[in-house]
């Protein structure tokens, strides 16, 4: 005899009301308010709006003419590509290698995941010390090897690469754990059958592992691409205010700079709207390109 709790759905709505109220207050209202702020004239944080801009789309026109915004979007696109290759790609390679070893698998899983638990601020400071002009670890190593004079690694030529390295390194472990979980869900019988048929290890990876991991890889790629739009803390610690010469701006860091440094709140709100639009568009494109397969 079935319990009435499975037939009567009305109590479910009572339990959903607190979560719905929470989402309205802390998600939907700020999102709608931010869109409205992007069309208004707001002089500083906490200040009331002075009215609608004239014309109302002033901030969006300003973005098209803002060289720093163009730099931020270009750098963010570069970061998206780097996350696909440098985070998801390396995570796939590491997951396949760890899955094929018999001893020490737990050790490598812990080591690869460890950067995730470190604060991004601490990582930024650590990489700043590594690439210091005078006594950084890289320059001391070059000096020890007799490879010429010390180099300012955070100059304009190297700044973007220096910023991308720690971001890529930190999140490889995150996708590594997701992929390892996907590998554990592949039936062992498939590998046994392939071995009986004479398949080599590479053939088992190519025709069994990678196709069976396709949906997991697609999920990782979507997370990596959308996550690149929200990167803020680590790049800001390493290159505050887009230094040097404003060449390291990302959409997230430039939005923060406009809101908290120049107090240009309405322009910052417009940048936030663009970030949301870019996130929706890129996620749709990625879902089309890396379309999940039905098995």
pLDDT tens sequence across 79-137? 988 888 889 999 999 998 888 787 877 888 888 888 888 888 888 888 888 887 677 78
The Cα 239–Cα 246 span in angstroms is 9
What are 230-259's pLDDT values in tens digits?
Answer: 888 888 888 887 777 778 899 999 999 998
**Signed CA dihedral, 133, 138, 141, 142: sign only:** negative
d(CA 165, CA 226): 18
Domain positions in the chain are 55-118+170-289
**CA distance to 105, 130, 153, 157, per residue, from 135 (Å):** 36, 8, 12, 20
Residue whose C-alpha is closest to residue 34's, from 269, 222, 228: 269
What pLDDT is stored for residue 289 in this prediction? 78
d(Cα 113, Cα 91) in Å, to the nearest integer? Answer: 10
Cβ–Cβ < 8 Å for 237, 126 = no
Q: Among residues 85, 91, 88, 83, which one has the least CA distance to residue 112?
A: 91
Residue-averaged pLDDT of the chain: 85
Give residue 175's pLDDT band: very low, low, confident or very high (50, 70, 90): very high
Q: Which two tokens stand for residue 284?
A: 């749709």
Task: Give the separation between CA 223 and CA 183, rounded to whole angstroms.
Answer: 18
Q: Which residues of 250-270 are buried (b: 16+ CB within 10 A; e: fewer)?
A: bbbbbbbbbbeeeebbbbbbb
- Expressed in percent and rounded to 5, the helix, strand and coil fractions of the chain are 70, 0, 30
What backbone phi and psi angles, to 5 degrees, belong to 45? Answer: -65, 135
pLDDT one-digit tens code per residue, 184-196: 888 888 888 888 8
Residues 6+ apart with CB under 8 A from 75: 160, 248, 249, 250
Read off the tokens for 205.
Answer: 């990876």
In residues, how long is the chain?
Answer: 295
Q: What is the mean pLDDT of residues 159-186?
A: 88
| Largest Cα–Cα separation, the chain | 83
Q: What is the pLDDT of residue 70?
A: 92
- Do residues 113 and 173 make contact, with C-beta atoms less than 8 angstroms apart? yes
pLDDT 10s digits, 28-79: 999 999 999 999 988 787 777 888 888 888 999 999 899 999 999 999 999 9
**Which stretches of 185-260 are DSSP H helices?**
188-196, 201-204, 210-212, 214-228, 233-238, 251-260
CATH of 55-118+170-289, one of 3.40.50.720, 2.40.50.140, 1.10.3720.10, 2.102.10.10: 1.10.3720.10
pLDDT at position 269, please? 92
Q: What is the value of pTM for the model shown?
A: 0.84
């Amino acid at each position: 005899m079935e319990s009435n709790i499975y037939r009567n759905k009305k109590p479910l709505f009572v339990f959903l009301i607190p979560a719905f109220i929470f989402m309205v207050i802390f998600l939907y209202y700020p999102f709608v308010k931010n869109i409205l702020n992007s069309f208004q004239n707001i002089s500083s944080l906490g200040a009331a709006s002075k009215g609608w801009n004239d014309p109302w789309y002033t901030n969006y026109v300003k973005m098209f003419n803002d060289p720093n915004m163009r730099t931020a979007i270009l750098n963010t696109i570069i970061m998206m590509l780097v996350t696909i290759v440098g985070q998801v790609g390396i995570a796939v390679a590491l997951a396949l290698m760890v899955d094929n070893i018999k001893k020490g698998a737990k050790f490598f899983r812990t080591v690869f995941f460890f950067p995730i638990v470190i604060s991004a601020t601490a990582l930024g400071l650590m990489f700043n010390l590594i690439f210091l002009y005078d006594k950084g670890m890289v320059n001391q190593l070059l000096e020890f090897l007799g490879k010429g004079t010390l180099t300012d690694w955070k100059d304009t030529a190297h700044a973007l690469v220096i910023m991308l390295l720690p971001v890529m390194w930190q999140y490889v472990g995150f996708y590594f754990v997701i992929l390892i979980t996907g590998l554990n869900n592949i039936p062992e019988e498939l590998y046994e059958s392939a071995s009986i048929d004479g398949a080599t290890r590479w053939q088992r990876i190519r025709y069994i592992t990678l196709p069976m991991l396709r949906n997991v890889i697609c999920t990782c790629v979507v997370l990596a691409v959308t996550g690149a739009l929200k990167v803020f803390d680590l790049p800001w610690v390493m290159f505050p205010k887009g230094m040097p010469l404003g060449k390291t701006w990302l959409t997230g860091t430039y939005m923060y700079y406009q809101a908290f440094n120049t107090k240009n709140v309405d322009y910052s709100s417009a940048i936030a709207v663009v970030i949301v639009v870019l996130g929706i568009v890129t996620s749709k494109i990625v879902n089309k390109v890396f379309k999940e397969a039905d098995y």
